[in-house]
Amino acid sequence: MGNRPAELNALIDSVRAQQGPAVELAVVANGAPLPALPAGVRTAELPENLGIPGGRNVGIELFGPDGRDVDVVLFLDDDGLLPRTDSAAILREAFAADPGLGIVSFRIADPETGTTQRRHVPRVRVGDPMRGSRVTTFLGGACAVRTAVFPQAGQLPAEFFYAHEETDLAWRALDAGWSIDYRPDVVLNHPATSPARHAAYFHNVARNRVWLARRNLPAPIVPLYLGTWLLLTLARRPSSDGLKAWLGGFRAGWSEPCGPRRPMRWSTVWRLTRLGRPPII
């Protein structure tokens, strides 16, 4: 959004420092002017902020329809940085070794402390963040997606603007037969932050949670999923303003259009359950 020029250039330098074939670069200015960039970077300057998923979808299209000009697209937050020079090589090897691997979620580490926040490990039972595993979702600003996933699962849901867009794509990718891996050896340095710093956090989290269920879950599971999250939200005792925004978002999730409904197969429900995250939590 144009407010991190130094961080963006540091990120670009870290991508250019990767071992092996050069990684092609694209920068999407999401409702902001493009900054000065090195030669050879593909760019898009959007007249308005399309939100996180909308902006990333524009980035996909910079590499052809559904990104088909390349094999894999990496999404990197502009205040992140790749501290290792072998990350691209690890990803190339991982995708080449497993044709069914659709998405890789990186480990996010605070650059000052090296620690990984619990919310950045995409497992219910987080355990050791240095342990890799098959997972059911991924981190949107620190990931790699095989472009063959998009024609089958679709791109990120632009309607969401912010919150849960990764899980929507993850569920559809899993339903199409793809796998998702959490790889702690692929690291993105990113300052430790709280998602609640965003003004629309509570509203969007609740609205998009309803949309996620309406779009993807078999009808009998929808009330179980949303009821579980209602109880979890109350148990976390948000502030009165936060709870008011959450309840407003929950209502909006039912009244506002969320895009096409395509409920996952029951075999995918079972697959999510076997992976440790049945779609009620």
Q: Which residues of the chain have pLDDT under 70?
A: 194-199
Residues 23, 160 share a domain: yes
Give the angle 174-180-182 at the CA atoms, nearest 5°. Answer: 155
Task: Say if residues 280 and 229 touch (Cβ distance below 8 Å).
Answer: no
What element of type H or E holds 36?
A: none
Residues 213, 186 share a domain: no
Residues 205, 180 share a domain: no
Structural domain for 256, as ranges: 198-274
In whole angstroms, give the CA distance from residue 53 to residue 140. 9
Strand partners, 146: 72
Per-residue confidence (pLDDT) for residue 199, from 0 to 100: 56
Residues 239, 127 share a domain: no
Residues 140, 108 share a domain: yes
Residues 237, 107 share a domain: no
Task: Tell me the per-residue pLDDT of 22-36, one tens digit each, with 9 for 90 and over.
Answer: 999 999 999 999 999
Per-residue confidence (pLDDT) for residue 200, from 0 to 100: 84
Domain boundary among 142, 171, 193: 193
235's CB contacts (< 8 A; 6+ apart) are: none
**How does DSSP classify residue 21?**
S
Domain boundary among 178, 193, 208: 193
Which pTM was predicted? 0.95
Domain boundary among 147, 172, 193: 193
Closest CA to 108 of 95, 100, 118: 118
Per-residue confidence (pLDDT) for residue 206, from 0 to 100: 96
Encoded amino acid at 95, one letter? F
**How does DSSP classify residue 260?**
-
In whole angstroms, give the CA distance from residue 160 to residue 207. 8
Residues 108, 78 share a domain: yes
Task: Say if residues 27 and 43 touch (Cβ distance below 8 Å).
Answer: yes
Residues 148, 32 share a domain: yes
Task: Tell me the per-residue pLDDT of 38-59, one tens digit each, with 9 for 90 and over.
Answer: 999 999 999 999 999 999 999 9
**Could you count the other beta carbons within 10 Å of the beta carbon of residue 271?**
18
Write the Ramachandran bin of 154: left for phi over 0, alpha for psi from -120 to 50, otherwise beta: left
Residue 279 lies in a domain: no
Edge-to-edge strand list for the sheet holding 133-134:
72-76, 142-146, 101-109, 179-189, 133-134
Number of domains in the chain: 2
Residue 280 lies in a domain: no
Residue 82 lies in a domain: yes
In whole angstroms, give the CA distance from residue 169 to residue 269. 15
Residues 179, 49 share a domain: yes
Residues 205, 170 share a domain: no
We report the CATH number of the domain holding residue 161 as 3.90.550.60
Residues 142, 37 share a domain: yes
146: phi then psi, degrees, rounded to nearest 5 = -65, 130
Residue 281 lies in a domain: no
Residues 265, 127 share a domain: no
